[in-house]
Amino acid sequence: MYFGKPKPPKDTERVPPNQHVTKTFPVLHAGSVPYYKDLTEWNLQVYGLVNRPLLLNFEDIMKFPQTKAGNDIHCVTGWSKLDNSWEGVSTKTIAEAAEVKPEARFVILHAEEGWTANLSIDDFLKETSLLAHSHDGEPLTPEHGYPLRAVFPHRYFWKSAKWLRGIQFTKQNHPGFWEKNGYHMEGDPWKEERFSWD
């Protein structure tokens, strides 16, 4: 018997529990959006448990091998946005350039205004993790993290720091902004790790 073409996977199979799909790109953050007059006002520090601390400007970022990634993002407030395309630098590339020491087990992401997020070194270095300067073929808008943001699609999107200014490699796990406010240290959307008690 002929049943026709195999069906593509349903969106529901791509959407973690208790999330709904939105076609829009919501803007969500604490604090205010930085508007840089020019990119000399921006740099990225890579430090902590590394052999080669780095102070990178935007040109340095663009000189690294560039990578593209397609993925879905899941905000802990309940929206998921499917089929994003990002361009930037793989987190592995940055870690290699800084020569991260073997004793580094966690990462603190530092954004403008002292906002932070924490994650394990494995989450940071995952194949799908990147630092993105573009979304869907266009440079990030100020609201979405211009000039550079982290993207960790396998974690709730709050870990994906916008307006990234520092990457600190540490031995201990230091809770970031939302993690101090009751959010989960890992934040796996498939396990619904929303709050620290989940």
Residues that bind ligand MTE (CB under 6 A): 25-30, 75, 111, 115, 144-145, 157-158, 160-163
Please, what is the minimum distance in Å from the beta carbon of residue 159 to Mo ion?
9
Query: Three-state SS across 86-110?
Result: EEEEEHHHHHHHHCECCCCCEEEEE
DSSP one-letter string for 14-65: HS-TT-EE-SS-----SS-----SSGGG--EEEEESBSS-EEE-HHHHHHSP
- Part of the chain binding Mo ion (CB under 5 A), chosen from 45-53, 74-82, 87-95, 123-131: 74-82
Cβ-Cβ contacts under 8 Å for 121 (sequence gap 6 or more): 100, 104, 105, 106, 107, 169
Using the rule CB under 5 A, is 183 a contact of Mo ion?
A: no
Quick check: 152 and 160 in contact, CB under 8 A?
yes
Chain positions 98 to 127 lying near Mo ion, rule: CB under 5 A, are none
Is the Cβ of residue 78 or residue 171 nearer to ligand MTE in the bound state? 78
Question: From the list 75, 82, 97, 185, which residue makes contact with Mo ion (rule: CB under 5 A)?
Answer: 75
Beta bridge partners of 189: none
Is residue 185 involved in binding Mo ion (CB under 5 A)? no
Provide the token pair at 18.
Answer: 């208790």
Q: Does residue 177 belong to the site contacting Mo ion (CB under 5 A)?
A: no
CB of 64: closest distance to Mo ion in angstroms?
A: 27
Q: Which does 55 bind (CB under 5 to 8 A by kind): ligand MTE, Mo ion, none?
A: none
Query: For 34-37, which contacts have Cβ atoms below 8 Å and span 24 or more sequence positions?
Result: 34/112, 34/113, 34/142, 34/163, 35/142, 36/146, 36/147
Between 42 and 177, name the residue whose CB sits nearer to Mo ion: 177
**Smallest separation, CB 1 to ligand MTE (Å):** 46
**C-beta closer to ligand MTE: residue 100 or 151:** 151
Using DSSP, state whether 116 is helix, strand or coil: strand
Instruction: Give the nearer residue to ligand MTE in terms of CB position, either 3 or 190.
Output: 190
Q: Which does 124 bind (CB under 5 to 8 A by kind): ligand MTE, Mo ion, none?
A: none
Please report, as ranges, the residues that interact with Mo ion according to CB under 5 A. 28, 75-76, 157-158
